[in-house]
Amino acid sequence: MKRGLVAVAVLALVGAAVIWFVRRTPAPPAPPARDVPATWQDVRASAGHVTHLALVGVTCASCHTDGTFTTPSDAVCATCHAQADHTHAAVASPSSCLGCHGFGADATIAPAACARCHDGDPAPAPAHHAQVDCRTCHAVHADPPLTPTCAGCHDAVVRRHGATDGKDAQRCLDCHRPHEEPMRAAERCAECHRTTEPRVPATALRPGHDACTTCHQGHDFVAASAAACTSCHARKPVMAVAAAAHHDCKSCHEPHDVDGAGAIARCQGCHRTLETHHRATPGQTCITCHAPHPADAAAARPVAACARCHAAASPTAFHAGAVTCAACHPPHARGRALVTPGDALCRTCHADRRRTGAHSACATCHASAAHAPATPAPTCASCHRSEATRAATGAVHADCARCHGADVHAPKPAPACASCHQAEAQSAPAGHQNECRTCHDSHSAALTAKATCTTCHAKRVAADQPHQAVACARCHRAHGPGGIAKPPTCATCHAKASLPGVHASVGHQACAECHGAHSPPRRDRASCLRCHTDRVDHEPDAATCAGCHPFGS
């Protein structure tokens, strides 16, 4: 208890000492009094004064530096707000800063009250953003004053427009104006895309496609996100072909050419290798024969168009009653509408008569068969007139089928002559057995020779030949059964007793030792020495033995 009383006494003494010290310290001099105008009562509650007086260190004299309470200039504001880049320099008096920052009795002057000046000109009052503070998008102290901050509020909106970066918020302003309704942006699509890729002509916006947003979803304008054509044209019939491209509307129809004028030209985009003889016909296009969106099954078949233009009762009215026009007439054959003679198209039906060579061209014999298949085919003589004329004189060779077979679509090569002329073939000398046609015309009924012995054996009748003046048939025959079977001996014509000179010698009776039937006699020294070997050194300088030992008279 005693300790508590002591503590209280000590505190009392300390307090008394502090009071005595304060009273002894002199007070600082008071600032000189100023003449505060009566209007202070009107402006004291303004937002500007309330804000600045609440700041530590800001006194009335900080702004009213001239000792009066006149309106401060922008230069005074800049002593503290030097970083502010005022873009509203033309704001009405009393000064540019005070045009937006209210320090007077007019409470409508405030930083958020932009519409006070911008109600229609130079910018209309915001419609879509009427409840949004202008400073959300506009930095009034920046240059330029508009800072694109669309993503700050619309961060969930997909921003894809062509090849632009979806993260680039500035791209919102390509279509949208901040002070108008959002749907007004669709009105600018056509205006921009008349000069910007993809270019859309003014004529492209037709009934049914009169607005870009009919197919394109807002904020997602890339081609992949466009509405499918089938979303509106689900029941549109398509040409019945297997090609997947024909089931993709964009393969033929340019999305921005909805009237279809460019679709016809685009046929060549895929079918650039196709030619057609119809191209030279005025007014003919691909869809003349090929209905891209056929009304019925008949219109879907291109062959139906043939009968319509070529005055036929039906597409199968011409050839055999079951073959369509297109089966024989290649519709895309360059510059022509008719099948080429010998063309493989005939063989698609007449495969059993498919042949090669001269008879492979069907139209050569069947010129009228395309539209009149019952017309008789011409005879062999229509093409083989010369052969038929030569063979007409004999009953055997006049019948072409006897040697070439009865199937005119598969004419056989002429058989070997030996098939009929066996005796002649068997008796022919070497080299002649299979060469009958070398000497004979096979189409001649009389087997007229078309060559003589000298045609092949011209050297046998040369001027230096011993028998050049003698007929070949005296010693030879081409074949049997008549004639000389083999060459006779020399003695048949050259009797040994009549031969002059050394021929009379017994050792020189064998003619073939020195003579050949179709070669001059051998007179050189070497030939003689083959038999007369003991005469090698006899008159060695003599070039020929016949100089001293003559064989003639």
How confident is the model over 238-275, as pLDDT tens digits? 876 767 777 788 888 877 775 566 777 778 778 877 77
Identity of the amino acid at 310: H
Helices (H), 457-552: 525-529
Q: How confident is the model at residue 534 (pLDDT cuts 50, 70, 90)?
A: very high
Name the percent of the chain lying above pLDDT 90: 1
Cα–Cα distance measured from residue 221 to residue 154, given in angstroms and rounded to the nearest whole number: 17
DSSP per-residue letters across 377-423? PPPGGGT-HHHHHHHTTSTTTT-HHHHH-S-TTSPPPPPPGGGT-HH
Mean of the pLDDT values across residues 377-389? 82
**Does 380 or 304 have the greater pLDDT score?**
380
pLDDT beyond 50 at 235: yes
Q: Is 241 exposed, middle or buried (0-12, 13-18, 19+ CB in 10 A)?
A: exposed
pLDDT for the residue 339? 57
From residue 12, how far is each of 4, 17, 19, 22, 225 by CA, in Å? 13, 9, 11, 16, 87
Instruction: Judge whether 288 and 282 are in contact, CB under 8 Å.
Output: no
DSSP category for residue 166: T
pLDDT for the residue 538? 92
pLDDT beyond 70 at 148: no
Determine which of 42-46, 150-154, 467-471 has the lowest per-residue pLDDT on average: 150-154
Top mean pLDDT of 11-25, 176-190, 289-303 is at 176-190
Cα–Cα distance measured from residue 134 to residue 115, given in angstroms and rounded to the nearest whole number: 9
Determine which of 76-80, 231-235, 277-281, 291-295 has the lowest per-residue pLDDT on average: 277-281
The token pair at 476 is: 């030879």
Determine which of 173-187, 321-335, 391-405 has the lowest per-residue pLDDT on average: 321-335
pLDDT digits (tens, 9 = 90+) for 4-32: 444 444 444 544 443 444 445 455 555 55
- What average pLDDT does the structure give for the chain? 76
Determine which of 77-91, 420-434, 462-476 has the lowest per-residue pLDDT on average: 77-91
pLDDT for the residue 396? 67
pLDDT beyond 80 at 310: no
Q: How confident is the model at residue 426 (pLDDT cuts 50, 70, 90)?
A: confident
pLDDT for the residue 335? 57
